[in-house]
Amino acid sequence: MSHTRPLVTCAQLRVSRLLLAVVLTLTLTACGESAGDADGAGAQVAPPGPIDATPGETVERDGVAISVFEAGAARSFDRREQAADGKVFIAARLSISNSGSGIPDQGPDALVLELPDGTVGKPWIVTPGSRLRDTGPSPGEEFGGWRSWEVPEGTRAATLSYRPEPGVEIRFGFTLSGEVRDRWQVTSDLRHV
């Protein structure tokens, strides 16, 4: 009988260790942060909604059409401009066409970059390529170019809200890859996208 008792204790010990390992794993998963969360890549990766389109699509509303061709993040643009510590630039290549009768707005108040935490990106003058004009195209014309914003490092999603006139809004949502370019330079002329 003395041999049976230690075997039961060993079996109980194995079960206890297994239960302890499961409980510890669940606790760490619930309370800890994953590797993706630690570097910011896993945090807030959904663009704030609602969303009308994503890059590669075109949306037309009230005679104004906008396309977002690409978006990306960089620490500098052609060594001319460096992001502040803890910040990066997000830039988007856009095309805006006008089939209406007025001239749409394209200034900093008309092209706003919304972040998942409820804040907005700081509009920036320097871009990786030709900057989109602040005043929209005349009827029948199309303008193309870049816009950029300074945002907190670790930002992986955003929504570009375009408000060409009062009461009109078009929203492009996008997520960024984990890559943040050290330097981003575009050599092509994008005035005629």
Considering the segment(s) 58-175 as one domain, its CATH architecture is: Sandwich (2.60)
Closest CA to 22 of 14, 10, 37, 11: 14
What pTM did the predictor assign? Answer: 0.73
Closest CA to 142 of 58, 71, 52, 72: 58
Beta strands in the chain (DSSP E): 58-61, 64-74, 76-77, 81-82, 87-98, 111-114, 122-124, 142-152, 157-165, 168-175
Please list the pLDDT of the chain residue by residue as tens digits (193 residues): 455 555 545 455 454 554 444 443 433 333 333 333 434 444 458 999 999 999 999 999 999 999 999 999 999 987 668 899 999 999 999 999 999 999 999 999 999 999 999 999 999 998 998 999 999 999 999 999 999 999 999 999 999 999 999 999 999 999 987 788 888 876 554 433 3
- Domain boundaries, given as residue ranges, for the chain: 4-32, 58-175
H or E segment and range at residue 37: helix 35-38
pLDDT score for 183: 85
pLDDT score for 41: 44
The pair of three-digit structure tokens given for residue 41, joined into one six-digit string: 């890549």
Distance CA 110, CA 104 (A): 9
Distance CA 169, CA 83 (A): 29
Backbone angles phi, psi at 28, to 5 degrees: -65, -35
Closest CA to 103 of 157, 139, 69, 132: 139
Based on its alpha-carbon atoms, the radius of gyration of the chain, rounded to whole angstroms, reads 25
Distance CA 173, CA 175 (A): 7
Cβ-based neighbour number of residue 193 at 10 Å: 19
Cross-strand partners of 170: 162
Q: Answer whether 112's CB lies under 8 Å from 161's CB.
A: yes
Distance CA 137, CA 98 (A): 6
Q: Answer whether 42's CB lies under 8 Å from 34's CB.
A: yes
pLDDT score for 177: 78
